[in-house]
Amino acid sequence: MNVDHATAAIILAAGKGTRMNSDLPKVVHPVAGRPMVCWVVDACRDAGIGRIVVVVGYQASKVTEALQDHDNIEFVTQSEQLGTGHAARMAQPVLDQDSVREVVVLAGDGPLIRAGTLRTLIETHRREGAAATLATSRIPNPSGYGRVLRAPDGGFEAIVEEKDADATQLAINEINPSYYCFGRAELFRGLERLGNDNRQGEYYLTDVPAMLKRDGKVVRVVDAVPPEDVLSINTPEHLREVDQVLRRRLGVDS
């Protein structure tokens, strides 16, 4: 497998996961016998991504321990939980170099991600000369996910988080599963400009693509994620569901 050293990944793994009813960091809960964040790292490796940076925070030592068998992972710390944009910005000091051309940003609680989806995302991003490219999915029940807003020409307009969405936006079934590819420079310039004027008072990574589009940059959408693959884990019930899906995919007993 060819390793692409011009592409890096930031995996967001700093949160507690308050709805998991557990003191463990959410991303170390086991799925198909392994901490869920391990599956995300594996997908990045299988996609040929050359550098992987994991953002840790809550009980950071447990996350680093869960990944101790994975070589060449860099860890950075988000000491305050100020949102996904703030978390991604923690990786800037280790990735702020010209040798890194693209940065894929992923959530550590999405173990169903496939390497093929990441390859499609990166290839589209490069082919289109985009500043940002995101993969989306259309699912029957979009509850719990940010919605993707389309421009009149069918192109990307914005992502709105569910807690900030109005009734019309909530009816949209195209969702954001948190698979992004950014130009490195565009990502970090955008993160530096983020505000937190929203109901959560957080710095949203999801605001960066719309910001780049307003700047006249190319933002592309890849509608390439099967609905089954977008399942993320926020509750023990989600954990059981994703565990069953992954075991079926792997052909192993539950």
Predicted confidence (pLDDT) per residue in 240-251, tens digit: 999 999 999 998
Q: What is the pLDDT of residue 254?
A: 52
114's CB contacts (< 8 A; 6+ apart) are: 43, 229
Strands 146-150 and 156-160: antiparallel
Catalytic residue among 19, 127, 193, 214: 19
pLDDT band of 168, cuts 50, 70, 90: very high
Give the residue ranges of DSSP H helices in the chain: 36-46, 60-66, 84-89, 92-95, 115-128, 167-170, 184-193, 207-214, 236-250
Q: What is the pLDDT of residue 5?
A: 87
Q: How far apart are CA 67 and CA 20, in angstroms?
A: 20
| C-beta atoms surrounding 115 within 10 Å | 16
The proportion of the chain whose per-residue pLDDT surpasses 90, expressed as a percent, equals 81
pLDDT of residue 213 exceeding 80: yes
pTM, 2 dp: 0.95
Q: Is 240 a catalytic residue?
A: no
Q: What is the pLDDT of residue 76?
A: 98
Q: How far apart are CA 242 and CA 32, in angstroms?
A: 9
Q: What string of DSSP letters covers 95-122? A: H-STT--EEEEEETT-TT--HHHHHHHH
Domains and their CATH numbers in the chain: 4-250 (3.90.550.10)
Q: What is the pLDDT of residue 230?
A: 85
Q: How far apart are CA 145 and CA 128, in angstroms?
A: 26
